[in-house]
Amino acid sequence: MGMAELAEAVIDIIAAKTSVDRAKLEPTARLADLEIASLDVVEIVFALEEKFDIQIPFNANTSQVEFETVGDVIKAVQKVIDEKAA
Amino acid sequence: MKRVVVTGLGVVSPIGQTIPVFWSSLQEGRCGIGPITGIPTERLGVKIAAEIASFRPTDHFEPRRLGMLDRVSQFAVVAAREAVRQSGAPFADGLGERTATIVGSGVGGMSTLDDSFHKLYAENAARVHPFTIPRLMANAPASHITMDLRLTGPTFVIASACASATHAIGQAFQMVRTGMVEAAVAGGAEACITIGGMKGWEAMRVLSNEACRPFSRNRNGLSLGEGAAMLVLESLEAARARGAEILAEIVGCGMSADARDITAPDVGGAARAITGALADAGLAPDDIDYINAHGTGTTANDQTETAAIRKAFGASADRLAVSSSKSMFGHALGAAGALELAATVLALRHGVVPPTINYTDPDPLCDLDYVPNQARQQTIRAALSNSFAFGGLNAVLAVKRFDG
């Protein structure tokens, strides 16, 4: 899967799990600004793990640091998939 | 309105299966959280918890009786026996009829549920054990206490997740205070360290992988615990009439709902429960010397709880000692409030504030005196015990040193 394709897939999941307009899910958009709460992020991470059959090392207690933007989520998924392939 | 006193305490916890051991562990700052040994851990992402690994059911129950008792009911009965023994109240001589049994539990018989469904779904068993339902039902811990101790007054279980035991003790306090019953056995019990329980909490992404560090900047989640604690409550007049030793007085209870978010805590809701407990007790913020905090070790709770204490106490917050016993015995969910009220009563009685252990890194957003790592000798005139549950349900109890 190419990077653009992966980003689209991640954004699809975020859009499906929240009621945020897909057009607003730019990589630079901040999750807090989109009113995506921490429990939403937990559910998004779960959906990503199920879809890509991966384990994302994510602790809700440090989520503010790890996942500030939509792009951070895409990067985290990319990283785990790359590690899995290596 | 009657004054309500505590005359008995009992506990089954990861840091002690009797009150004397529990109290010495709390004073020493002993940690009961460690590698899980009671269940297979291959499939777990988080492999630490506060288990009561050395609990031997056969030390307490006949084999035939055990068949009916989920682990959660075993803990409840053992803790209730100790509390009743210490109180010396004449339950067998008629008092049992006028005694309420109110127990908090978050989920009830989790290991029975887990084991039975594993047999059904994973092993394709055709049937489950006939005691599956009576073992797993959430009211079983309370029912078994009544049968074990012949208590025949009003009895039920209260479920409000991590505040269950505090709501249960608050309810029992009201029943004794209004004279509806003469005495109560009240507390909480929980036993959720099963594969299903651990995986569920793991999926919430709130468990720490290394240690429970309440209020410390490097905190990274809670650690699940298990156990039970029970208290015997009586009216002051009844306790005095029979010359009972009085451990502390329960003076107030505050309860509230955030009505906002199913998991995120709320400063306003928590502060209203604290203020409610103070008002019910007729105490001013300056009368309180110690708060046994909810203190789970999650980013959200500890910061919100600190803000709620500041909101309720104003300038008086800076002279409070605040500590989290969960740093030692983990988060026992529906039993947590009872274990923590027991710790609070012991702290009042002995004039020692138990510490918050694993505290290594001050957090600017958690700026109270958390009694880091070392217990502190200090006279405590009155104290609060906080419980703030998932679901936004809050309960706070106020207790006072009993000086006659």
Query: Residue B221 pLDDT more than 70?
Result: yes
Residue B27, token pair as written in the block = 């004073």
Q: Roughly what angle, to the nearest 10 degrees, separates helices A70-85 and A3-17?
A: 130
Give the SS3 label for residue B236: helix
| CATH number, residue A57 | 1.10.1200.10
Most confident of the following: A38-42, A78-82, B230-234: B230-234
Contact A62 B220 (CB under 8 A): yes
Query: Residue A65 pLDDT more than 60?
Result: no
Find where tokens 């919430």 sit.
B204
Name the minimum distance, in Å, from the CA of A4 to any CA of chain B.
28
Pairing verdict, β B99-104 and B183-190: parallel
Structural domains of chain B sorted by starting position, each given as residue range(s) with its CATH number in brackets: 4-241 (3.40.47.10), 250-400 (3.40.47.10)
Mutate to test the interface with A, among B46, B201, B205 (most CBs of A within 10 A): B205
All residues of chain A having their beta carbon less than 8 Å from the beta carbon of residue B301 are none
Please report the pLDDT score of residue A14 as a whole number: 94
Q: Please give the tally of structural domains in chain A.
A: 1
Query: Residue B228 pLDDT more than 80?
Result: yes
Please report the pLDDT score of residue A63 as a whole number: 53
**Residue A61 sits at the chain B interface (C-beta within 8 Å):** yes
For residues B386 and B163, give the distance between their C-alpha atoms in angstroms, rounded to a whole number. 8
All residues of chain B having their beta carbon less than 8 Å from the beta carbon of residue A39 are 261-264
For residues B7 and B228, give the distance between their C-alpha atoms in angstroms, rounded to a whole number. 17
Which is catalytic among the residues B31, B162, B192, B366?
B162
For residues B95 and B91, give the distance between their C-alpha atoms in angstroms, rounded to a whole number. 4
Instruction: Choose between A38 and B114: higher pLDDT.
Output: B114
Listed in sequence order, the residues at least 6 apart from B44 whose beta carbon sits closer than 8 Å to its beta carbon are B36, B195, B198, B199, B202
Query: Residue A62 pLDDT more than 90?
Result: no
B356-389 pLDDT, tens per residue? 999 999 999 999 999 999 999 999 999 999 999 9
Nearest to B395 by CA among B404, B384, B381: B384
All residues of chain B having their beta carbon less than 8 Å from the beta carbon of residue A45 are 205
- Determine the structural domain holding residue A63 and report its residue range: 3-85
Please report the pLDDT score of residue B329 as a whole number: 98
For residues B166 and B335, give the distance between their C-alpha atoms in angstroms, rounded to a whole number. 9
Contact status, residue B353 vs residue B254, Cβ threshold 8 Å = no
B129 is an active site residue: no
Nearest to B392 by CA among B266, B296, B206: B266
Contact A58 B221 (CB under 8 A): no
Residue of A37, A58, A59 lying closest to B264 (CB–CB): A37
- The number of C-beta contacts closer than 8 angstroms across A and B is 41
